[in-house]
Amino acid sequence: MLDHKSRKDLLWIVLTLSCFFRQLPGDCVNNPLQLDPPSIVVRFGDPASVNCNTNVTHHGMGWESSLDGVDMMDDLQSITWNVENISHWDLKPICYITVDVQCQKELIITIYKPPDQVSISFGEHTGPMIEGNQYELQCEVQNVAPVRLLNVNWYKGQQLVKTDSFTNETKTPVNEIRTLQVSPQRGDDGVQYRCEAVLELGPEGPQPPPINKSDPLTITVHFGPEFSNCKDDEQLMEGESLVGYCTATGNPLPVYYWEKDKNIVDRNTPLNRTSNGKYNIIINGTIVRSVNVVVKYGPEISCEPIYTVEEDHDFRPNCTVVGFPKPELTWYKDNMDILQIPHKMSKEDSGQYFLQASNGNATVNHTLEVEVLYPPTDIVELESAQVSRGEDVYLKCSSKGNPPISYIWTYHQTSNVQVVHQDGVSLLHIKHVRVENIGTYKCTAYNYLREKSHTVRVDIQGAKAKCPIWISPQESVFPYTSANVTFTCHSSVPNASLSWEYLNQTYHGSTLDINPTSVVNLPAWNVKASCYGHFVRFDNCTKNISVRMYKLPDKMSISPVNHTGPMIEGHNFTLRCDILNVAPIQSLIVNWYEGKVLVESKRFPTTRNPDNKTLTLNISPRRNSASYTCEAKLDFGSNLTKFDKVYYNAEVYAIPVITTKFPARVPLFRGYPEKLVCEASGFPEPTITWSFNNKTNYGNQTVIDSPGEYTCTASNSVGTVKKKVIVDMKEVSCDLVLMPAELLVEYGDSASANCLTATPSVHTGMGWEASQGAVDMIEDVQLVTWKLDSLVHWDIQPICFLKTSAWQCQTKLPVTVYKLPDRVSVSTAGHRGPMIEGKPYELQCDVYNIAPVHLLTVNWYKGQHLVAKTWFSDSTKTPVNQSTRFQLSLSRADDGIRYRCEAELKLGWVKTSSKMASQVLGLTVHYSPQVTSVVEIFNETSEDGMLNCTVEANPPPSYTWSSSLQKEFNVGHPVLPLSSVGSGNYTCTASNEIGSVSKMFVVRVKPRDGNHTTFWAIVGPFVGLAVGMIVGYVLLKKRTRKI
Q: Are residues 566 and 646 in the same domain?
A: yes
3-state SS assignment for residue 278 = strand
Q: What is the pLDDT of residue 640?
A: 66
Q: Which of 440 and 787 is assigned the larger pLDDT?
A: 787
Encode 158-210 in three state secondary structure: CEEEEEEECCCCCCCCEEEEEEEEECCCHHHCCCEEEEEEEECCCCCCCCCCC
Residue 380 within a domain = no
Q: What is the pLDDT of residue 1018?
A: 42
- Confidence band for 1042, pLDDT divided at 50, 70 and 90: very low
Q: What is the pLDDT of residue 482?
A: 83
Q: Which of 947 and 15 is assigned the larger pLDDT?
A: 947
pLDDT tens by residue, 848-898 = 999 999 999 999 999 999 999 999 988 899 999 999 999 999 999 999 999
Q: What is the pLDDT of residue 806?
A: 60
CB 73 within 8 A of CB 1019: no
Q: What is the pLDDT of residue 862?
A: 94
Q: What is the mean pLDDT of residues 679-703?
A: 88
Is the model's pLDDT at 218 over the cut of 90? yes
Amino acid identity at 403: P
Beta strands in 659-686 (DSSP E): 665-669, 674-677, 680-683
pLDDT tens by residue, 290-305 = 999 888 888 988 988 8
To the nearest 10 degrees (0 to 180), the angle between helices 4-23 and 1013-1042 is 170
Report the CATH number at residue 531. 2.60.40.10
Indicate the range of 235-239, 257-261, 634-638, 957-961 predicted with least confidence. 634-638
Q: What is the pLDDT of residue 886?
A: 94
Q: What is the pLDDT of residue 882?
A: 94
Q: What is the pLDDT of residue 912?
A: 55
Q: Are residues 837 and 905 in the same domain?
A: yes
Residues 6+ apart with CB under 8 A from 1028: none
CB 753 within 8 A of CB 743: yes
Residue 574 within a domain = yes
Residue 379 within a domain = no
Q: Which of 340, 373, 406 is the last residue of a domain?
A: 373
Is the model's pLDDT at 1017 over the cut of 80? no
pLDDT tens by residue, 58-94 = 889 999 999 999 999 988 999 999 999 999 999 999 9
Question: What span, in angstroms and rounded, lies between the C-alpha atoms of 1043 and 1036?
Answer: 11
Q: What is the pLDDT of residue 909?
A: 59
- Confidence band for 582, pLDDT divided at 50, 70 and 90: confident
Q: What is the pLDDT of residue 15?
A: 38
Q: What is the pLDDT of residue 23?
A: 40
* Mean pLDDT for the chain overall: 85
Encode 96-110 in three state secondary structure: EEECCCEEEEECEEE
- Confidence band for 1015, pLDDT divided at 50, 70 and 90: very low
Cα 447 to Cα 362, 493, 767: the distances in Å are 43, 26, 107
Q: Which of 104-118, 245-259, 300-314, 600-614 has maximum average pLDDT? A: 104-118
Question: What span, in angstroms and rounded, lies between the C-alpha atoms of 22 and 701?
Answer: 142
pLDDT tens by residue, 820-834 = 999 999 999 989 999
Q: Are residues 912 and 831 in the same domain?
A: yes
- Burial letters 890-916, b for 16+ CB under 10 A, else e: beeebbebebbbbbbbebeeeeeebeb
Furthest-apart CA pair in the chain: how many Å? 186
Is the model's pLDDT at 1009 over the cut of 50? no
Q: What is the pLDDT of residue 626?
A: 74
Q: Which of 399, 361, 393, 394 is nearest to 380 (CA)?
A: 399
3-state SS assignment for residue 920 = coil
Residue 181 within a domain = yes
Indicate the range of 475-484, 570-579, 679-688, 1001-1010 predicted with least confidence. 1001-1010
Q: How many domains does the chain have?
A: 12
Q: What is the pLDDT of residue 20?
A: 42
DSSP 978-1043: GGG--SEEEEEEEE-SS-EEEEEEEE-PPPPPP-SHHHHHHHHHHHHHHHHHHHHHHHHHHHHHH-
pLDDT tens by residue, 528-539 = 899 998 887 677
Q: What is the mean pLDDT of residues 269-278?
A: 89
Residue 234 within a domain = yes
- Confidence band for 1014, pLDDT divided at 50, 70 and 90: very low
Q: Which of 730, 758, 789 is the last residue of a domain?
A: 730
- Confidence band for 144, pLDDT divided at 50, 70 and 90: very high
Q: What is the pLDDT of residue 702?
A: 86
- Confidence band for 232, pLDDT divided at 50, 70 and 90: confident
Is the model's pLDDT at 759 over the cut of 60? no
Domain that residue 939 falls in? 928-1003
Residue 121 within a domain = yes
Is the model's pLDDT at 3 over the cut of 70? no
Is the model's pLDDT at 747 over the cut of 90? yes
Q: What is the mean pLDDT of residues 783-800?
A: 93
Q: What is the pLDDT of residue 1006?
A: 62
Q: Are residues 526 and 537 in the same domain?
A: yes
- Confidence band for 935, pLDDT divided at 50, 70 and 90: confident
Q: What is the mean pLDDT of residues 156-165?
A: 93
Q: Are residues 684 and 614 in the same domain?
A: no
Total residue length of the chain: 1043
CB 125 within 8 A of CB 134: no
Q: Are residues 22 and 53 in the same domain?
A: no
Residue 18 within a domain = yes
Is the model's pLDDT at 1013 over the cut of 50? no
Question: What span, in angstroms and rounded, lies between the C-alpha atoms of 811 and 802?
Answer: 9
Q: Are residues 159 and 215 in the same domain?
A: yes
Q: Are residues 234 and 266 in the same domain?
A: yes
Q: What is the mean pLDDT of residues 18-35?
A: 62
Q: Which of 460, 485, 513 is the last residue of a domain?
A: 460
CB-neighbour burial class of residue 329 (10 A; exposed 0-12, middle 13-18, buried 19+)? middle
Q: What is the mean pLDDT of residues 983-1004?
A: 89
Q: Are residues 854 and 811 in the same domain?
A: no
Q: What is the pLDDT of residue 128?
A: 92
Q: Are residues 664 and 712 in the same domain?
A: yes
Is the model's pLDDT at 8 over the cut of 80? no
Q: Are residues 677 and 610 in the same domain?
A: no
Q: Per DSSP, what are the bridge partners of residue 883?
A: 846
3-state SS assignment for residue 377 = coil
Q: What is the pLDDT of residue 16?
A: 43
Q: Are residues 748 and 806 in the same domain?
A: yes
Question: What span, in angstroms and rounded, lies between the C-alpha atoms of 775 and 767?
Answer: 5
- Confidence band for 259, pLDDT divided at 50, 70 and 90: very high
Cα 643 to Cα 361, 552, 598, 630, 738: the distances in Å are 104, 7, 15, 11, 74
Q: What is the pLDDT of residue 731?
A: 64
Q: Which of 327-331, 405-409, 466-470, 696-700 has maximum average pLDDT? A: 405-409
Is the model's pLDDT at 11 over the cut of 60? no
Q: Which of 16 and 401 is assigned the larger pLDDT?
A: 401
DSSP 516-554: HHHHHTSTTSEEEEEEEEE-SSS--EEEEEEEEEEB--S
Residue 378 within a domain = no
